[in-house]
Structure formats: structure tokens, C-alpha cells
Amino acid sequence: MQGFGKSIRGFSTETMSLVPVAPYTYTPLNLLKDGTVVNVCGIVKFFKPPYLSRGTDYCSVVTIVDQTDVKLTCMLFSRNYENLPVIYKAGDIVCFHGLKIQVYKNKLQGISTYGFASLTFDGALGSPITLCASGKSFNFTAQDYDMVEALRAWASMHISTATSLLQLSDVQPMQYCDLTCQLLGKAEVDGTSFLLKVWDGTRTKFPSWRVCMQNLVFEGDLSHILRLQNLVIDIVVYDNHVQMAKSLKIGSFLRIYSLHTKLQPVNSESMTSLIRLEFHLHGGTSYGRGIRVLPESNPDVDQLKR
């Protein structure tokens, strides 16, 4: 089957090569062997957004599953942040090309090699086939299209659709959640923490705790933020997430993963009326903690704009 020369059923050709090529060969996850370099495709069960490793490379951890019901955890490294998979949520579908298989702690594991590249698709059944590519150029064929649709159909029957993605109006104290929001302002609090002021158009059940702005160098439109009043929350991010927070552009749309909420009672005789809801993105990458900038074309961004 040859590469497509035009869009099909909502498929975007912006990031694919249109040169006719032979189709890629993908290896089912139950047939992987130690020491081989393969192409694989599967549904994302767990992932960590790219983060700076202890060396000079960025790292991303992705666990996938396919119709064989076998899971594979992949450790992916690159000196370029943009060369790692663009994954927005569990349930996305990824295709990895040039993945080396090795044994680690008695289990098979995938490792990125020179020339590694990836494609990501929305895993929702019936959604447009719009890909996000990283690494080298891709040729997306009719065979690949059918494979993605087959994975979507299988996932809809066999994988739980439970999600930790919440709106601010649904957030409860003492929980970890993923939040889609727009960045309105930011400021460095100290060397290990950074303030993000965000909103998603909904209001929290409790008033949001506010960071003291005195002596902070703030970037953003404070008058606009004041007009929005209680629709805006303060998020404090820590440690390894600070560098990413500094690079964010005002107005960009974000997904923040494993955001921690807790109640902070204020010292007062009328405690009930002064309870505040705090939002923290703790340091480290456990449970997929991190921040990802969403493109304007992301379906969740469209929902946010409404």
C-alpha cells in the first residue's frame, strides 16, 4: 500500500511525508524478543511527560498495551524535548519506530535508539485521525490507518475510560487530578518554586488560596485577572518543574498532570468562611507529574474556549 497524497476522513497530512513507500511492519507486543529493533503500536496506559534527566537528555516513560493484552514499558531519551512522543493523556495511541528491546529486571523493556521516531493519535473511537509526529519524517499508509482504527475499537471494549482529568468546579480537597487550563500569569516565588495563575472557565467549590504577590516580578495582565476574580486559581510548582514553568507563554493552554489539592484553614475565629483550596505540583515525576503545552487544535482546548 502506498502513502497517501491527501487527507482522509479528517486525517491531517501536515506532519507526514507524501512520498510513496512500502508500509511499516509492526511487531505485536507478545512477539517481542531481546536484542531486536522493532516498530510497535499500542494504547498508552501510563506516561510521564518529558523531563530533564540527571544527564543532559530529556526522558519520557511510556507504558503501552495492544490487542495481545501484553504491556511494554519504554524508556525514551533525547537531547531535544520535541523529539520525544507528544502524548496528552492515557488512552492515546502511539506508534514507535526504531525501538530497541532489551531485558531489564527480568522483563522486556523498550529503549529509544538513534533514528527513533514516534506518532501519536487520539485514541477515542470515531475521532479524526490527526497525528502528532516527533523525530524523523513519517509516511502514514492505509495499513497504518486501519491499525489505528483497530486499536481504537479494541480499546473501547477492553480498556477502562476512567480519567483523572477534572474541571476546577469538580475538584475536591486532598486529591490528585489532571487539569486542562489557560495560563494568565506567572511569577518566580523563590529558587525552588514558581507561581502559575490559571483558569478553565469554571469556579472551584472553595475559594482558592492566594500567593502573596508582594515583591514578586509578575508577568501577565493583573487587571484582567482581577476582573475574572474567583475563576482564577494559583498553582505553585516545585523543583524540577520550575524550569518548564518559566518557559510557558502567557495565554497558552496547558495540561497539568497529578496536581495536588488540599485545604488550608486560615487562623481566624470564623474558620469556616476562610477555608482556602491550595493547588500544588510537587517535585519529581512520580505518577506522571508534569506540564504539557496543548496545541490550539486539541479537542480539550476547543472545549475550554466555549
Q: What is the pLDDT of residues 18-76, one digit of tens each?
A: 344 567 799 999 999 999 999 999 999 999 999 988 888 999 999 999 999 999 999 99
Asked if the domains at 29-158 and 165-305 fall in one CATH topology, the answer is yes
Is the Cβ–Cβ distance between 29 and 68 less than 8 Å? yes
Report, at the CATH architecture level, how domain 29-158 is classified: Beta Barrel (2.40)
Q: Which of 16-30, 78-92, 119-133, 271-285 has the highest mean pLDDT?
A: 78-92
- Residue spans of the domains in the chain: they are 29-158, 165-305
The pLDDT-based confidence of 143 (bands split at 50, 70, 90) is confident
pLDDT digit string, tens, across residues 267-302: 655 455 578 999 999 999 999 999 999 998 888 888
Nine cell digits for residue 197 = 495563575
Sign of CA dihedral 233, 162, 83, 10: negative
CA distance 133 to 86: 7
Three-class secondary structure of residue 156 per DSSP = helix
Three-class secondary structure of residue 154 per DSSP = helix
How does the average pLDDT of the chain come out, rounded? 87
CA distance 293 to 119: 17
Q: Per CATH, is 165-305 categorized as 1.20.140.10? A: no
